[in-house]
Structure 1
């Protein structure tokens, strides 16, 4: 097995994909030596998932794990026997630490201990994605006019990744970040070009050939856009576009032919992703008979108006990928679970439930998510600037339509569900944690620790595991060529 070190690990989406890869002999291709992450709840999730993998790889009984994530057993009742042994082993590689200059000596010692003496390391891979808030379009928008933005340390956390590249010289690395990195600037400098330049000036003298995973071209001929991976083109039911760099150490790059990911035969849609999920209704967060009665009347009138809308031809649905859907379902389904876990809808204001119901029905009629301006005025949000010229966020309520991959699931889903309205009008609610996890391609047996807000946050911050698995398969094949 090839060792991997996972930086800025989050809840483990990138690691999950790599850890599932098997070689031609049916053995696992990778072994995680260390996952480094600063968030305490994400670390709990990482430890639990590592425990599950340890149980699977040792052929141990999985019943305690499923009993725990289903809520049938408490943690003290679960932490016994083989499960306790697996959990003890899992804890050894999940390391809670904030990556930064002040913690470099501590982090270096930890990684050196895990990798062992340099002469005995062999080929290994570094994976991870430095935090992206400083590069994301939404993050930059929220901080317009903020004089401290240019000096935000989050701009430069990629240097911790580069420091570890320089000090430990992995054979291959995979670095992930948001698409906004390509247009992000610090002062008058492009952050993307700055990162590429820094990769050519590692203090150790190590050099890496930077390749695209989607465009087969000489590194010198690649454009910045050639590093964008569109997840929906690779069997993930979500339009998640990310910049991913594949780096191969220059002394071995000539031994590894260029390879790119194989596109799916079509889309995995929201309908395919949610197939088999129970139909649920949300509770209300301000349940008063008078309010209920008023909003029921408003909703009924709005539905009348919506049903009177003349339906033109719906936009063409995404081409369904039969092979991609089958691969997705085989990846996410778990036969040991009678019901999906972490699938309770959150409560909503009665007014929002009315909007969700009407917007979902309108979306079903026109084949796309409407803006709030498409609603009857009675359902417009009660904001002071609503209806004025230049009103921002006219799409602040967004229905995820059935016959297309979802829009990007982001960490803001932890704040509210307005951008993630269920397409079924009769359910009139936002997505659950499990439904969001399905759109991110997490297996149904993947459990997120912490309060529900933190569970949503972890899901939104992750790399889709099914995409990561495909990247891991390419990396495993490259490392195997060097080994052979």
Structure 2
């Protein structure tokens, strides 16, 4: 069977790539081969190279022990860089290109793609995937820059043009472009960014054009609404309410050969409980950067817990019933029997005030059946901000407990800065989520290792596309490409 080339733009730590790379045909052969991954972040590139080394070892049936020894911290990088591992790494390293995509670097990027794809007449069918950086489109990013006169000129608004440049020059049969839901409401001046991108896709400089399809609504392109391009990850077996705009583009000269296909919904959600309950319990340590401890925090916690447990609740939401098949598929996707213990599962240190607050909020969440706002806490645990308690208090949900029997809220890159939005649902653990727990909510396999410091690891996890969702998209794309080969 044909192995289809893939080029990955703005690759991050490789969420889209992981999903596509895992797709197999009915004989068990891999459907895709990644020829190039472009990413500017140093640590994300290190993660991409390491993961590509693992895939190369799997495909070549090489010795995987050095890989697992390295990610479990049993051996150093230099000590594993021999034999099968070194050969796989050299192959993997050749396709990961660290570069900031932009007009200045177009000649080098174009040259590399031409080298990887080979002569145009011999290329056959292939796919372009990726998601231009989303900070300029996200609701949070826009709110932080309200009143910023330079916002409209931010080059990040227009990085999608690098994606379109490669479409125009190299003309893949199919492309997948991912971005935040805020793209639909983002404007530069009076222009809708979403409509601008769609218009640009219809008039690429080379003359090639693409039909833009939805992966969740089976309708002709002219009948689609902007909201029809939103994929809600929790509907497809990912334990997270991550809503993203994903465009499926089909080159106009092959559209007639490719009937529309949409993703199949899961039989129910995968919950936080299904994702992280089996992880070993941990206790967070107190931060070394403590303010002067002038309160009896054990007494404050005890008094607050009594108040929380006495609280009356008129109605408590019904817990979500998890999908049986979805949970089975998710667990099979994550599981790695060769690991002796979960990797990258160390808790952050927290200030004692936050440890107490997390404990009480998790208890209150169990009581209410939903995450409380910090204004629901006893006043003894309110943050010491001057505007707390006022009608105009902003961000009353700045502390958020993840609920056991529901998909998690969206894991975003801000998790790298603090864990307030990602409080563990178990009151006894009284901490924020670890890198591995966040990775599980993003559906990264347990043997997926993120390079860099813990902050950099969190940043990569928060910026990724859920690989389990990507695999489902990859299956659709592979079927479409196979039909073109028949």
- Scaled by the length of structure 1, the TM-score of the pair is 0.99
Over residues 85-138 of structure 1, what are the superposed CA-to-partner deviations in whole Å (9 max), with x where a residue is unaligned?
Answer: 100100000000000011111110010110000000000000000000000000
Matched residue SS, 2:55:
helix
Identify the match of residue 352 of structure 1 among 348, 351, 354. Answer: 354
Q: Which residue of 2 aligns with 1:388?
A: 390
Distance between the aligned counterparts of 1:207 and 1:3, measured in 2? 20
Q: Which residue of 2 aligns with 1:82?
A: 84
How far off its partner does 1:311 sit?
Answer: 3.0
> Within the alignment, does 1:268 sit opposite 2:267 as a pair?
no
How far off its partner does 1:344 sit?
Answer: 0.2
Q: Which residue of 2 aligns with 1:213?
A: 215
Q: Which residue of 2 aligns with 1:236?
A: 238
Q: Which residue of 2 aligns with 1:368?
A: 370
How far off its partner does 1:41 sit?
Answer: 0.2
Identify the match of residue 408 of structure 1 among 407, 410, 430. Answer: 410
Q: Which residue of 1 aligns with 2:68?
A: 66
Distance between the aligned counterparts of 1:103 and 1:62, measured in 2? 36
Return 5+ residue gaps in structure 2 as ranges. none
Is the CA contact 1:233–1:266 (under 8 Å) kept in the aligned structure 2? yes
Identify the match of residue 32 of structure 2 among 30, 33, 45. Answer: 30
Distance between the aligned counterparts of 1:230 and 1:438, measured in 2? 17
Q: Which residue of 2 aligns with 1:102?
A: 104
Q: Which residue of 2 aligns with 1:334?
A: 336
Q: Which residue of 2 aligns with 1:111?
A: 113
Going from structure 1 to structure 2, the CA distance change for 1:382 and 1:286 (only over 3 Å counts) comes to: farther
Identify the match of residue 297 of structure 2 among 291, 295, 298. Answer: 295
Matched residue SS, 1:85:
helix
Matched residue SS, 1:21:
coil
Distance between the aligned counterparts of 1:479 and 1:143, measured in 2? 42
Q: Residues 248-267 of structure 1: matches in 2 within 5 Å? A: 248-267=250-269
Distance between the aligned counterparts of 2:154 and 2:306, measured in 1? 50
How many residues in Structure 1 have an aligned counterpart in Structure 2?
Answer: 484
Distance between the aligned counterparts of 1:127 and 1:317, measured in 2? 36
How far off its partner does 1:192 sit?
Answer: 0.2
Distance between the aligned counterparts of 1:380 and 1:201, measured in 2? 55
Return 5+ residue gaps in structure 1 as ranges. none
Is the CA contact 1:292–1:350 (under 8 Å) kept in the aligned structure 2? no
Matched residue SS, 2:178:
strand
Distance between the aligned counterparts of 2:112 and 2:27, measured in 1? 32
- Scaled by the length of structure 2, the TM-score of the pair is 0.98
Going from structure 1 to structure 2, the CA distance change for 1:167 and 1:290 (only over 3 Å counts) comes to: closer
Q: Please say which of residues 77-86 and 29-38 is displaced more in the overlay.
A: 77-86
How far off its partner does 1:312 sit?
Answer: 3.2
Q: Which residue of 2 aligns with 1:121?
A: 123
Distance between the aligned counterparts of 1:371 and 1:121, measured in 2? 55
